[in-house]
Amino acid sequence: MYLIVGLGNPSKEYEKTRHNVGFDTVDELIERHNIPQSGVKHKAMFGKGMIEGQKVIVAKPLTFMNLSGEAVRAMADYYKIDPETQLIIIYDDIDLDPGQVRIRKKGSAGGHNGIKSIISHLGTQNFYRIKIGVGAKPKGWDLADHVLSRFSTGDRKLVDDAIERAAAAVSVILSEDIEAAMNIYNRKAE
């Protein structure tokens, strides 16, 4: 079984913001694979289903971004998920241009508060990540204002394409392995 968690902030005011591309990707997975909503538990909204013949739980933490680790830890403990081999976290990355996708086996938080929270709660940096580029903050902007802002029309198109590629990357990870997904998807959008 795999636990696939998209990071974001709950409530309508945050929909389609840069910080919510993880939520958007979980929505894409739910739609692609007809995963039924299972309810709210462990501080997350979640669904259970199958992707590429593998049992999955897809989740959107309801704790707000900076406390994402609370929901991830609760779900990982309950479902006996090994973070190093059965957990995939999908989230925004300001160090990547809009439309870029990067897949990693492990790594630091890189300044991302949601990932900092997950590392703190799990006690490890070793979990799979799919990062979706949302672009660097403009000069003079506050970081929070930037990640909670919406995309320009052009960037939204690039990010929507990246969300589709991130969802496809999940299928490759589950049907092959993370190395295969990294080889296919770790390149610039063209």
66 carries a ligand binding annotation: yes
Q: What is the pLDDT of residues 92-123, one digit of tens each?
A: 999 999 999 999 999 999 999 999 999 999 99
Q: Let me know if 33 is a catalytic residue.
A: no
pLDDT value, residue 8 = 97
pLDDT value, residue 20 = 96
186 carries a ligand binding annotation: no
Following DSSP, what letter does each residue of 150-161 receive, concatenated?
BPPHHHHHHHHH
| Average pLDDT score over residue span 13-38 | 96
Following DSSP, what letter does each residue of 22-45 receive, concatenated?
HHHHHHHHHHHHTPPEEEEETTEE
**Which class in CATH covers the domain with range 2-185?**
alpha beta
- Round to whole Å and give the CA distance between 170 and 40: 23
| 80 Rama class: left (phi>0) / alpha (psi -120 to 50) / beta | left
- Round to whole Å and give the CA distance between 174 and 55: 10
Domain boundaries defined on the chain = 2-185
Query: Is a pLDDT exceeding 80 seen at residue 187?
Result: no
Average model confidence (pLDDT) for the chain? 95
pLDDT value, residue 190 = 43
With the C-alpha atoms ordered 46, 48, 53, 54, is the resulting torsion angle positive or negative? positive
9 carries a ligand binding annotation: no
| Average pLDDT score over residue span 117-134 | 97
pLDDT value, residue 31 = 97
pLDDT value, residue 184 = 94
- Round to whole Å and give the CA distance between 49 and 55: 6
**Which pair of structure tokens corresponds to residue 32?**
């692609």
Q: What is the bridge-based pairing of β-strands 87-93 and 2-6? A: parallel
- Round to whole Å and give the CA distance between 60 and 83: 17
Q: What is the pLDDT of residues 17-27, one digit of tens each?
A: 999 999 999 99
